[in-house]
Amino acid sequence: MKVNKIILRNIRNYVNLSLDFTQGINIFIGQNAQGKTNILESIYYGAMGRSHRTNVDGELIRWQQEDGSITILFSRMNIENSLIMKLSNNQKKEIISNHYAIKSRELIGLLNVVLFSPEDLMLIKGMPAMRRRFLDVEISQANPSYYQQLLKYNRIVSQRNNLLKKIRENKDKPDMLDAWDEQMAIAASKIVMKRQEAVKKLAMLANLMHRKITASKENLTLVYHKHEIIETGIENLIKEYKAKFLQHRQNDIWRGSTSIGPHKDDLILTVNGINLRTFGSQGQQRTGVLSLKLAELEFIKSETGEYPILLLDDVMSELDATRREHLLVFIKDRVQTIITATEEKYFPDWEFGKYFHVENGTIVE
């Protein structure tokens, strides 16, 4: 998979930008707030239908402009594709894929990317929600049907929570939860089964990466942790979830929210048997994150048949020389990569990609 060109109109600090990419390494050098990350953000937006920097689409539109657009020309399995995202302060965004209008939920899986930003260094020591999102984004790109199932599950959770609040306020009866619990148990079990399958594959890949980076001194283990659930297999999971929903019903009514389900699960990482989040050093945690990101690339390739596009947003300064070298050696001649950095010193002296210099929204090769 390759991005060939992006065209930005009134996006962040770009009035009109047309930019061609090489199929290898593309490096954008410049100081902060000059427009480097806007390039990555636009590609990420085309892949995920949202920015990694804000939840408000309107913030991507250039200051004091009413609308803007992102056009991405890319190849998938050597077939040329186009994506156009039209953003407006007054209207709902419009997405056009190969000249046909599509909905946001149909976007996932068309253009696959892996983003590695400084915030991802919190992936291991951060909250469980970060690790769940990591899994969900990864699986959704490799398997768009999972994304549809995830949307369905989240809708059920939201509707069940609304009903819990009504019951708490004596506006509905507790037995109304029975039908929702049935639906939710089925949806939850499907999500868990797919996550467990993905983690099993990801764990093998991540450990291979981790052993290379640590010269075989450390083994990285990934385990999917189900919150208060011990069963395996779809039928057993459905039964246990239904029993747990009933067991926690009164507490859920009092709280007005659902306390059991995949939205409470976590991904546990250990190095040589030691919990990485709790007892790992900062260096071990960063190596763990790097191993996860490199494994994510291999996972998506194994599921889709080709590598996704790698977006590295100002992480070179956050990694030490050894980790930078492992990362750069891995991506060279393997994955189309778009990198932002403040200085060229983070890159090797040998011929390495295509350099762009960015200053105040102007890009010079």
pLDDT at position 302: 95
Same domain as 285, residue 167: yes
Is the pLDDT at 350 greater than 80? The verdict is no
Same domain as 324, residue 227: no
**Using an 8 Å Cβ cutoff, are 287 and 214 in contact?**
yes
pLDDT at position 230: 95
* CATH code of the domain covering residue 98: 3.40.50.300
Instruction: Quote the pTM value.
Output: 0.93
Same domain as 163, residue 235: yes
* CATH code of the domain covering residue 291: 1.20.1050.90
Q: How many CB atoms lie within 10 A of CB 21?
A: 22
User: What is the residue-averaged pLDDT of the chain?
Assistant: 94
How many domains is the chain partitioned into structurally? 2
Confidence class for position 257, pLDDT limits 50, 70, 90: very high
Same domain as 97, residue 179: no
Same domain as 277, residue 142: yes
Same domain as 173, residue 49: no
For residues 216-229, give the mean pLDDT: 96
Is the pLDDT at 71 greater than 90? The verdict is yes
Residues that constitute the known binding site: 30-37
Same domain as 131, residue 104: no
HEC string for the chain: CEEEEEEEEEECCEEEEEEECCCCEEEEECCCCCCHHHHHHHHHHHHHCCCCCCCCHHHHECCCCCEEEEEEEEEECCEEEEEEEEEECCCCCEEEECCEEECHHHCCCCCCEEEECHHHHHCCCCCHHHHHHHHHHHHHHHCHHHHHHHHHHHHHHHHHHHHHHHHHCCCCCHHHHHHHHHHHHHHHHHHHHHHHHHHHHHHHHHHHHHHHHCCCCCCEEEEEECCCCCCCCHHHHHHHHHHHHHHCHHHHHHHCCCCCCHHHCEEEEEECCEEHHHHCCHHHHHHHHHHHHHHHHHHHHHHHCCCCEEEEECCHHHCCHHHHHHHHHHHCCCCCEEEEECCHHHCCCCCCCEEEEEECCEEEC
Q: CA-to-CA distance for 23 and 212, rounded, in angstroms?
A: 26
Closest CA to 116 of 40, 201, 175: 40
Same domain as 296, residue 267: yes
pLDDT at position 247: 97
Residues of the domain holding 4: 1-112+308-365
Confidence class for position 25, pLDDT limits 50, 70, 90: very high
| Segment 143-169, tens digit of pLDDT | 999 999 999 999 999 999 999 999 999
For residues 185-190, give the mean pLDDT: 98
Closest CA to 36 of 259, 315, 318, 227: 315
Confidence class for position 253, pLDDT limits 50, 70, 90: very high
pLDDT at position 33: 84
Residues that constitute the known binding site for ATP: 30-37
Same domain as 137, residue 152: yes
Distances (CA, A) of 340 to 129, 228, 277, 288, 324: 26, 42, 28, 22, 14
**Using an 8 Å Cβ cutoff, are 309 and 335 in contact?**
yes
Confidence class for position 347, pLDDT limits 50, 70, 90: confident
Confidence class for position 202, pLDDT limits 50, 70, 90: very high
pLDDT at position 218: 95
Token digits of residue 325: 């070298």
pLDDT at position 121: 87
pLDDT at position 360: 86
Q: CA-to-CA distance for 327 and 289, rounded, in angstroms?
A: 12
Same domain as 5, residue 91: yes
Same domain as 294, residue 154: yes
| Segment 105-118, tens digit of pLDDT | 999 999 999 999 98
Residue % of the chain over a pLDDT of 70? 100
**Among candidate residues 287, 306, 325, the one where a domain is terminated:** 306
Distances (CA, A) of 53 to 19, 83, 117, 130: 22, 20, 10, 14
**Among candidate residues 291, 306, 321, the one where a domain is terminated:** 306
Q: CA-to-CA distance for 85 and 268, rounded, in angstroms?
A: 37
Same domain as 347, residue 235: no
